Amino acid sequence: MIITKGYADGPFGQLHYQTCGDGIPVIMVHQAPDSMVQFNPVMQPLAAAGIRAIAVDIPGCGMSAVPDHPPSIAEYAEMVPAIMDHFGLDKANVLGHHTGAIIITEATLRYADRVDKVILNGPLPLTDEERAYFKGKMSAEKEWAPRWDGSHLLEQWEFRRQAQAEWIDLKAFHTHFIHGQLAGETVWYAHEAVMDYKHEDAIPLIKHPCLVLANTGDAIYAQSQRTMELRPDFTYAELQGGTIDIIDEQPDAWASAVADFLKG
């Protein structure tokens, strides 16, 4: 099936999106820093399963417009109804990976009557100690700037590489590293918003059918387990192994888990 791309009006200017298939609509929001290219491997498998897959670049990432200030998660969440309006959808399912999981959680709470089902692929309920640790790590993004010798690229490559003890797919790693560079000097905006948002407080407020989709090799796998402790009523699906780049590594299994939940 054909993947089409386009632009929709969003909270900070235009939102870049891609879509594939007909059927049950799901709006998918990627991790930061990256772009909707993260969902390329699963667009056609989802479409083949009867899902209308709509992936969107977060403002400031990929080819979406750059915000004129560091947004809050609530401001990022406005991208979800904006995409629904563009496609003429009164309601849709929402899915987010890592940063995207935070954004679609807030969108679900703010626009509850427009959301059917929710998929959190890598939720992030944190302890105070974990939040302080991650915030300290992410603060390095504020210092990133180009250098004529190109050493900033190696520095940022190592920053991403250290997010996991081991990696599996070098091609996928390279793709997501390159797309992360598109965020430029505002790369820190999304992670700053994530660190200021208490997902552990928001998760108990979700009233919609929700799937926690985890993989055992994810750097934040433990937070998926904690989410299920907070909400044992949520549906749970687990893929074995993998990394942060699980969508590239196990696209068929990932798409199957998503489609099964949305169609179930």
Bridge partner residues of 210 (DSSP): 118
Question: What are the backbone angles phi and psi of residue 125, rounded to the nearest 5°?
Answer: -75, 125
Q: What mean pLDDT is predicted for residues 127-154?
A: 96
How far is Cα 245 from Cα 109, in angstroms, rounded to an integer?
Answer: 27
Q: Which amino acid is at 172?
A: A
At 135-148, the pLDDT tens digits run 999 999 999 999 99
- Average pLDDT along the chain: 98
Q: What mean pLDDT is predicted for residues 251-258?
A: 98
How far is Cα 183 from Cα 178, in angstroms, rounded to an integer?
Answer: 10
At 210-253, the pLDDT tens digits run 999 999 999 999 999 999 999 999 999 999 999 999 999 999 99
How far is Cα 202 from Cα 199, in angstroms, rounded to an integer?
Answer: 5
CB neighbourhood size of 211 (10 A):
22
State the pLDDT at residue 200.
Answer: 98
Cis peptide, bond prior to residue 11, ω within 30 of zero: no
How far is Cα 191 from Cα 208, in angstroms, rounded to an integer?
Answer: 26
State the pLDDT at residue 38.
Answer: 98
DSSP summary character for residue 192: H
Task: Give percent of the chain above pLDDT 70.
Answer: 100
State the pLDDT at residue 1.
Answer: 86
How far is Cα 2 from Cα 243, in angstroms, rounded to an integer?
Answer: 28
How far is Cα 220 from Cα 214, in angstroms, rounded to an integer?
Answer: 9
How far is Cα 251 from Cα 245, in angstroms, rounded to an integer?
Answer: 10
- The full set of domains in the chain, from first to last, is 4-263 (3.40.50.1820)
First to last CA, the chain: 23
Sheet bearing 235-239, strands edge to edge: 4-10, 13-20, 51-56, 24-29, 92-97, 115-121, 210-215, 235-239
Task: Give percent of the chain above pLDDT 90.
Answer: 100
At 169-207, the pLDDT tens digits run 999 999 999 999 999 999 999 999 999 999 999 999 999
Statement: the pTM of the whole predicted model exceeds 0.95: yes
DSSP summary character for residue 70: -
CA–chain centroid gap for 57, Å, is 9
* Tokens 């402790």 sit on residue: 229
State the pLDDT at residue 233.
Answer: 98
Residue 129 — very low, low, confident or very high, per pLDDT cuts 50/70/90? very high
